[in-house]
Structure 1
Amino acid sequence: MAGNTIRTPQQDRSREKLERIYAVAFELLVEGGWDAVTVGEVERRSKVSRSTFYLRFPTREALTDYVRQRLLQEVATAQDAAFEQARATPPTSLAEAVHAATEALAGICRVYGPALGRLDFGDDPGVSAEAMDTLSNQFQAVIDPVLPPGTSREQIEFTIELVFNALVGRMRHQQPFPSHTRQPWDHFLNRLCAAAVRYLES
């Protein structure tokens, strides 16, 4: 994919334009998926000229490849930092550990969840599988020190899936149950953590 390789900007103005292009492409991805990320709309919103755009991205595919790769890298970096912070203070109880791990994951979901939900890993499902394995291992590393004796691998995996799926559902554009009262974020998070702890202790 040599034709889709972008040139790294050397000057501050060039870097600033690249940041504007990325920010707009990210915004469009969240709003309408990859179909919404068009050269014309990116130009219009970022106020970058077509000639400048094509100097940086020779094709639309080069732009979408760049956005996908950069988004995944940003998520990985943010995820590492969030879980490192969650592990920084050793938990004194299971509830504290589950809350710390869930908060770390929730922070990633709130910032990147809507965009990640639009990504298509059909061409390379291994990327998604590897990312999910890393996430699972990071979550487990936070709760491991205070897990009740005899906690099974199945219980741990189910708990992580429960928390992850609940957070992803919360991040969706549409409320899954329109007739339900949407709980305030903190209340939702506390209820989710309490349910996860009860299951792990059962």
Structure 2
Amino acid sequence: MSTVPTTRTERRKAATRRAIIDAAEQIVIERGADALTLEAVSERADVALQTIYNRVGTRSALLVAVAERAQEDNREYMDAAYATPGSPVERVMNAARAYLRFAVERPHQFRILADPPNEPEALQRIAELTIEQNAKLEAALRDAAAEGLIPATVDPALTAKALWAAANGILALGWRADELRADPEEIAALFGALLNLSPVANAIPPIA
């Protein structure tokens, strides 16, 4: 757990770190992760390269910091969905809606999580954060099986991972530049089709 800076020097260092990560995040939002370089962040944040190394670290560390912010945004959407009262299947449904809404409303943050940059440290951290979130879907599916809402033969861990992967594949259609590109309305319909093919199909209404 991070501690709250107490001295003026610590507060200044923390503020500089936030400004650097803010700059990195804006570059990713505006131009994508490939455009993120230490030089670009240095120029955007108006700090020396050495300051970036001192306060955050390498390019990989910057990507991790941006990804962690994206995951925090995602967590707000998903935690609210899972906390909504209802049956386990309704929790799955709420989570699907929240994941879709996050991807539509925070497209660049979603993309860095769904299509992470090829940086070992960033890949590892994003994987850890994703596994953490997928565990909540797995728990909802396990509860649904325990209550007889879905077949007891369903593997909650495998199904959660399959639904997550399929959802990302559907959402990635919004990035395409060809005739297979899907607009938000079609993506929502495809989400509905995915859920209709899933083990929870008989217990949920179509996604809206």
Gaps of 5+ in 2: 1-8, 203-208
- Summarize the Cα distance change of 1:142–1:121 in structure 2 as closer, same or farther, 3 Å threshold: farther
Across the two proteins, how many residue pairs are aligned to each other?
A: 185
Please list, as runs of the form range in 1=range in 2, the aligned pairs for 1:18-167 lying within 5 A after superposition.
18-29=17-28, 31-34=31-34, 36-46=35-45, 48-50=46-48, 53-58=49-54, 62-92=57-87, 94=89, 96-110=90-104, 111=106, 112-116=109-113, 117-120=115-118, 122=120, 127-147=125-145, 148-154=149-155, 157-158=158-159, 160-167=161-168
Q: 2 CA distance for matches of 1:63 and 1:23?
A: 15
The Cα offsets for residues 29-69 of structure 1, whole Å up to 9 and x where unpaired, read as 453535x33333223333x143xx5234359x924243233
2:6 is matched with: none
TM-aligned CA deviation for residue 199 of structure 1: 2.4
2:206 is matched with: none
- Summarize the Cα distance change of 1:41–1:130 in structure 2 as closer, same or farther, 3 Å threshold: closer
Indicate the SS of the match to 2:176.
Answer: coil
> 1:100, 1:142 within 8 Å by CA — same for their partners in 2?
no
- Summarize the Cα distance change of 1:142–1:65 in structure 2 as closer, same or farther, 3 Å threshold: same
Q: 1 CA distance for matches of 2:38 and 2:24?
A: 9
Q: 2 CA distance for matches of 1:180 and 1:123?
A: 33
- Summarize the Cα distance change of 1:83–1:42 in structure 2 as closer, same or farther, 3 Å threshold: closer
Q: 2 CA distance for matches of 1:103 and 1:55?
A: 41
The Cα offsets for residues 71-120 of structure 1, whole Å up to 9 and x where unpaired, read as 343345444443331222232483x3332111333355453222232433
TM-aligned CA deviation for residue 159 of structure 1: 5.5
Q: 1 CA distance for matches of 2:116 and 2:92?
A: 28
TM-score by length of 1: 0.65
- Aligned AA for 1:89? T
Q: 1 CA distance for matches of 2:19 and 2:96?
A: 32
Q: 1 CA distance for matches of 2:47 and 2:150?
A: 62
TM-score by length of 2: 0.63
Gaps of 5+ in 1: 1-7
Q: CA RMSD in A?
A: 3.8
